[in-house]
Amino acid sequence: MPGRSRRQQLIIEVLQRQPVESQEDLRQALAGRGVEVTQATLSRDLRELGAVKTPRGYQLPQTTGARIGDSTRSITTLARAMTGFVTGIEIAGNLIVLKTGPGHAQIVALELDRSGAPGVVGCLAGDDTIFVAATSVHRAKELARELANLAQLEFGNGVAR
């Protein structure tokens, strides 16, 4: 197995077996398996594997569960990003405003873009706020409800907390 493929397979194995709170912890776990890696390479590998850092540490996308707009498809890293980082959701016309903790808006917006959620025109993320443009007011309401469900927030009257 080539170096990159082997290294990424080992990363998957480590993340599936134990919580990994930092890239340094992961680097040490790989070193214990005979693989020396730089932080830059490790960061690139994690991004390519779709791993996200949550308050519980680095996690890989799962292969079971529901995807936005299609409950029979596999869950994406969006569900983890939503659960880990989104603290509130509010509807404003055809816009959905998502609130996160400081520094987490970018990863949630990226995962929402990657999810291919139907009816999403685009996302704009700041430090702790994301604006999601929906194709219609009706779709914004539906999407806000779906996102609140993924984030495990209570939704009512156009607001989730």
Instruction: Provide the number of structural domains found in the chain.
Output: 2
Q: Are residues 98 and 155 in the same domain?
A: yes
Q: Where among 31, 59, 87 does a domain terminate?
A: 59
The string of pLDDT tens digits covering residues 122-144 is 999 999 999 999 999 999 999 99
In this structure, what CATH number is given to the domain that contains residue 49? 1.10.10.10
Q: How many helices (H) and strands (E) does the chain have?
A: 6, 8
Residue 12 has pLDDT above 90, yes or no: no
Provide the domain limits for residue 100.
Answer: 77-160
- pLDDT tens per residue across span 92-107: 999 999 999 998 999 8
Whether the model pTM is above 0.75: no
71 is a domain residue: no
- For 23, the 3-state DSSP assignment is helix
3-7: average pLDDT: 85
Is 23 within the bounds of a domain?
yes
CA distances from 79 to 2, 40, 98, 136 (A): 32, 26, 14, 23
Q: Assess whether 83 and 116 both reside in one domain.
A: yes
Residues 55 and 109 in one domain: no
